[in-house]
Amino acid sequence: MRHVIALDVGGTGMKAALVGTDGTLLHEARRATDRERGAEAVIESILAFAADLRAHGEKHLGESAVAAGVAVPGIVDSAKGIAVYAANLGWRDVPLRALLSERLGAIPVALGHDVRTGGLAEGRIGAGRSTDRFLFVPLGTGIAGAIGIA
Structural domain contains residue 119: no
Q: Is residue 47 part of a domain?
A: yes
pLDDT band for position 136 (cuts 50, 70, 90): confident
- CA atoms of 32 and 11, how far apart (whole Å): 9
The three-state secondary structure class of 145 is coil
Among residues 23, 42, 20, 39, the alpha carbon closest in space to that of 31 is found at 42
| pLDDT-based confidence at residue 147 (cuts at 50, 70, 90) | confident
User: What is the C-alpha to C-alpha distance for residues 150 and 143, in angstroms, rounded to an integer?
Assistant: 24
pLDDT one-digit tens code per residue, 51-88: 999 999 999 999 999 999 999 999 999 999 999 999 88
pLDDT at 150 over 70: no
User: Does pLDDT of 125 surpass 70?
Assistant: yes
Does residue 55 lie within any of the structural domains?
Answer: yes
Residues 6-53: tens digit of each pLDDT: 999 998 899 999 999 999 999 999 999 988 898 899 999 999 999 999
- pLDDT recorded at residue 139: 77
Diameter of the chain measured on Cα atoms: 43
- The CATH number for 87's domain is 3.30.420.40
19 within domain boundaries:
yes
Closest CA to 20 of 63, 78, 49, 71: 63
- Number of structural domains in the chain: 1
67 inside domain:
yes
Task: Report which DSSP code applies to 54.
Answer: H
Is residue 39 a part of any domain in this protein? yes
How far from 13 is each of 21, 79, 99, 100, CA to CA, in Å? 25, 25, 19, 18
Range of the domain at 43: 3-113
Residue 45 falls inside a structural domain: yes
In a domain, 147, yes or no: no
Q: What is the pLDDT of residues 85-123, one digit of tens each?
A: 998 899 999 999 999 999 999 999 999 999 899 989 889
